[in-house]
Amino acid sequence: MTGEKGNILEAPGIEGEASPSDAPVLQVADVTKDFEGVRALDGVGLTVRKGQIKALIGPNGAGKTTLLNVINGLLKPDKGRVLFKDHDLVTMRADKIGLLGLSRTFQLIRLFSVNNATILDNVMIGAHKKLQPTITGSLLFRGRMKRIEKTVRDKAYEALRLVGLEDAASNQPGALSFGNQRLVELARSLMAEPELLLLDEPASGLNDSEVEGLMGLLAAIQKRGITILLVEHNMKLVMSVSDDVVVINFGRRLAEGTPSQVSNDPQVIQAYLGADRIASWVRP
């Protein structure tokens, strides 16, 4: 599942391994969202520190994906604030939010095969902000545009090498397993050179071996200084890679703390249907 580490993840000004700091990169405050009278989020708040992996967990229907959709601008909250590097995301369009250094993967895989698009093509799409020439620019600066395209192509290969799929670059997405298609999405999200990466159930549909590979990949991404907010149902993955865990239930924040603290919280145990299931999350 994982390959060699590439320069695509090297953040400016960061040398060696990065570790979480106290500086907040994302602040969510009192976010509320209703859908036709049903309250999906009810005053949710959380802070994600620079360089950490923060997990957002909860039962099905708890509001996790809704919160991610609010953070990256796909939904506007009825109430509350979302600050990313002091930018108020509630007032911004999703495409503008992406330009700030925030990238996202989704529960449902979104890969393209139109016009025989390859895996490499799908990954290169992630660098769209660098591939938006004007008509004038295309006509007058063709040499420069070709150099930019080559740079993007090289970085796409690096991203695929990181996730172990460089040899499949010329294939079409449909030729890959479900798990590897998820890795293509992850590689594409890294092409935007994000400071904050939102991952919506990246382990969904993966077997045990693939989940182990994903754990190592997330750790490698974190070491490059990229902050991760992770929504996930695979609790072994969550407890292995997360610095901090937030639990929401029925749209409200239920608990927050380290993996150990959360796994021993009585309210979390009740929400997840028993101590036996909680105990199975933690490796011996």
C-alpha 17/C-alpha 24 separation (Å) is 19
203-211 contact pairs (CB < 8 A, 24+):
203/232, 203/233, 203/234, 203/237, 204/107, 204/233, 204/234, 205/178, 205/179, 206/178, 206/179, 206/182, 206/234, 207/179, 209/1, 210/1, 210/179, 211/236, 211/237
Amino acid at 102: L
Of 71, 78, 74, 72, whose CA–CA distance to 36 is shortest?
78
Say what the pLDDT of residue 144 is: 58
Q: Which domain holds residue 172?
A: 7-281
Query: Is 159 part of a structural domain of the chain?
Result: yes
Query: Is 128 part of a structural domain of the chain?
Result: yes
For residue 146, pLDDT over 90 is answered with: no
Query: Is 135 part of a structural domain of the chain?
Result: yes
Query: Is 1 part of a structural domain of the chain?
Result: no
For residue 3, pLDDT over 80 is answered with: no
Domain count, the chain: 1
DSSP bridge partners of 15? none
Say what the pLDDT of residue 131 is: 56
Please state, rounded to an integer, the average pLDDT across all residues of the chain.
83
C-alpha 136/C-alpha 134 separation (Å) is 5
C-alpha 88/C-alpha 103 separation (Å) is 16
pLDDT tens profile 122-136: 998 888 665 555 544
167-175 average pLDDT score: 89
147-174 average pLDDT score: 87
pLDDT tens profile 73-120: 999 999 999 999 889 999 999 888 988 999 999 877 878 777 788 999
Query: Is 273 part of a structural domain of the chain?
Result: yes
CATH number for the domain spanning 134: value is 3.40.50.300
* Helical ranges in 163-258 per DSSP H: 178-190, 208-223, 235-241
Say what the pLDDT of residue 92 is: 94
Cβ-Cβ contacts under 8 Å for 102 (sequence gap 6 or more): 71, 72, 84, 194, 195, 196, 197, 198
For residue 230, pLDDT over 50 is answered with: yes
